[in-house]
Structure 1
């Protein structure tokens, strides 16, 4: 079993002794230094897996040590010990590259959590790379995507809050997930929430949980998103949509690292990595009073920009083939291949909807193409008549197969259309004695489109 070594840097003997005793009981060897000069000498002759440093040292400060280690020992995580309540110093250390921070007086449970998280980073490089190669929409060989992959790998080693900025559909949640997968919290939960999708009156309960009977409808205890993410990562998508009242409560939870469920009188500690994102300009919202400056300051410790798809068009073919392979697996169909004219048509498009738009275009083309090949015409891009024509033809065939369904009163449109489709397909299959090829022909759609619909409707 490998024994880890930690370097402790603090000019107060009592603090050094406390840290040394705590880490020794965790089975970690320790080196100690009372000042910056001594610490640098030890680093030149030893290779510790972790460094704990006080911010204020007799001959310098912890930020200088963080910067030196970032330059000479980037694989060594550094945690900074700050004065109680000094969040400005803590944020400065995180921006300089510190893994995390702990405040005085040092809480031993918090210290042990921090140390265990940091030591998870001291793993073989090959294991880190396996997470990096996780199949996803960070695929590509463009300069922009290579830079983004490098940034996510680096940010995964920190516990600093990251604000991910990018257009809708550009893959912000995927970037957040990649940061989680490559970091020390990879074995913990990854909880993603769209802040704009939660009704304002339910927000506090959704985030922080509630006690049974705390309000009408609270029939059970609920732990909430923060506690669900304990030990892992909480990703707040579209954080700009949070109402001001909720922003205040979110700020407190971040600062105190604790939440108070609705109806409860005590706070519950939580250990999360916070990632957030929006397609809106948060800085402008702060200027206009729509977003709190202090919250912006806390969540925007490090900003990461996700490039739009139009800025990395050389990646489109690789992305498209990956998406088509995934669609084929999901719907248990043979894979489809893009013709050269389809690739060129995709590269000519500006993709205002980014990767999400590419997925939608390819999923539609996959169901409509013949002979497992997708041509430019199958993409139905920029030609409303072509796209509409296919849908109308398909819809006409379905209505011919099932002409008697007429809605009455208020209806769930999506459910109603699914019921029409389901009954039309069942009728066509029964008429052809469950010969799918013949049923597809009767419905006026391709065999692939029928397979797709059967899978989508759960009719297989």
Structure 2
């Protein structure tokens, strides 16, 4: 990991932070005045292989030879995505607020509580690493991958919308890549030079969501010490992506409707209207028509968002893309972990194509991370696949009537109409709707109705071929068998031996699923950050670097 840069003319502050961060296994590099920092950044920018740029910059606000505010401005020019934490005395609160408004990640008042300071720096590190992963994905990989007809329809729809700023509603199952489509719509739009700002309305508590969207004035509520720009202001001149819009609280739906209708809004606690020149793209995995019927979603907001509807297919509807996506994710995982990319045998690839992928593309990506870490050989064989794949029944795609070549999807505008006009024709649950069925809220007239499909069926031979005998039992049965073997062989301390193996495998899997982020892995496992750190040390795990 890149070091934390500390800038302060007070040697005691530098010493305390260096020691505290060292205990957290966070590398540091210290400077006494801003000029040294700018010289070091110049070396990094020039490509000096001996120099490594900062992960986070922590700077005092008043130092001989320059101020932290001036340093902040110059650093933002050189590395716009670098989180900068400004340290300041309580008497310098106005200066700290000024720094915050100029783009500082956060300010740290002096004298500070050391554990809180370390926690703040760790938050900044995680934010920096997320930005690095996002930038790497955007620059080093194609925007989207897919050769299946359903994905080609999506690509054509994006192309037809490239000259428009119309509101788009993206629907599709969780993990199918709705944010990737939103980013592509933004990149190929007239507002591509503006910012792309995403917010998951389901991930933010109701009490905070209003402030996140619209910002707040100083003193609007307890803890609002400064004025804060919301996501609408941050996205000015660009695109605001509202993910999981179906989970937005009902009272906030009214405020969102007003912004879409009037093009202006008020910050929380504010009295002056703020103009919003923003393109809105929304996404959901829910059936919004049903949510409207149930009274959980405003019908007028639904029609405002449903100007153009673009349905993203599930991965099981584009199984021919699985080999290409698998190889891509294996290469990506190898780059992130700094290892040689693994290859996958045809038999393993064929089994992946027969998997239903309830978690869609995100699940395939996680499986590839797991294989990169857990597969013992350089070539991934059938038996190396995780149990969730080997033990699953072979997926049988629904049979469709295809009298001729399926035409490309058409993008049509959705007029404001009664709700019944936009409810899709009822289908058998086992027959997912193709991407071209619902673009612009209307069915493509040339796409035939799907045939009702029977429940997937398979023979005993097919199951035996797909899953080895050792994998058809549950993990509890495997644990019982292993315990019996150890007990029969006179193994001492069986409890400790099996517990260590269980904890080791569980923590490794969680770290792979979170791309090595220990804090997130601990949260998802339901244990503390100190606990997972201690367990990694006790078990001697070669954990991936946090990313």
Q: TM-score, length-normalised on structure 1?
A: 0.59
Among residues 233, 252, 257, which one is paired with 2:263 in the alignment?
257
* DSSP-derived class of the 1:275 partner: strand
After TM superposition, list the pairs within 5 Å mapping 1:416-431 onto structure 2: 416-424=530-538, 428=540
SS in 1 for 2:257: helix
TM-superposition CA deviations, 1:17-74 (whole Å, max 9, x none): xxxxxxxxxxxxxxxxxxxxxxxxxxxxxxxxxxxxxxxxxxxxxxxxxxxxxxxxxx
Q: Decide which of 298, 312, 333 is 2:318's aligned counterpart.
A: 312
The separation in 2 between residues aligned to 1:384 and 1:195, in whole angstroms, is 40
Indicate yes or no: 2:500 matched with 1:396. Answer: yes
Give the helix-richer structure, 1 or 2: 1
Out of 219, 223, 228, the residue aligned to residue 217 of structure 1 is 223
Asked whether the 8 Å contact 2:171–2:283 carries over to 1, the reply is yes
* Structure 1 unaligned residues grouped into runs of 5+: 1-130, 401-410, 429-442, 444-449
Superposed CA deviations along residues 112-161 of structure 1, whole A, max 9, x for unmatched, are: xxxxxxxxxxxxxxxxxxx9998357312111111111111222321110
C-alpha separation in 1, matches of 2:138 and 2:198: 20
SS of aligned partner of 2:500: helix
Equivalent residues in 2 for 1:21-420, closer than 5 Å: 135-136=141-142, 138-380=144-386, 381=389, 382=391, 383=471, 396-397=500-501, 413-420=527-534
Q: Is the 8 A contact 1:338 1:373 kept in 2?
A: yes
Deviations 1:93-122 (A, max 9, x none): xxxxxxxxxxxxxxxxxxxxxxxxxxxxxx
Q: What is the Cα deviation at residue 424 of structure 1?
A: 3.0
Residues 143 and 184, structure 2, Cα contact 8 Å, conserved in 1: no
Report the CA distance shift for 1:134/1:306 in structure 2 as closer, same or farther (over 3 A): farther
CA 1:275/1:134 → structure 2, altered by over 3 Å: closer, same or farther?
Answer: farther
Structure 1 stretches of 4+ moved >4 Å: 131-134, 383-390, 392-395, 397-400
Structure 1 142/393 Cα, relative in aligned 2: closer, same or farther at 3 Å? farther
Number of residue pairs the alignment of both structures matches = 293
TM-fit CA distance, 1:332: 1.1
1:53 match: none
Cα distance per residue 1:339-380 (max 9 Å; x no partner): 111101101101111111111111111101123221222221
Paired with 2:236 and 2:473, the residues of 1 have a C-alpha distance of: 51
CA–CA distance in 2 between the matches of 1:248 and 1:256? Answer: 12
User: Separation in 2 of the partners of 1:421 and 1:192?
Assistant: 35
2:202 aligns to what SS in structure 1?
helix
Gaps of 5+ in 2: 1-136, 392-470, 480-495, 505-524
TM-score (norm 2): 0.50
Alpha-carbon spacing, 1:412–1:317, altered in 2? closer, same or farther (3 Å): closer
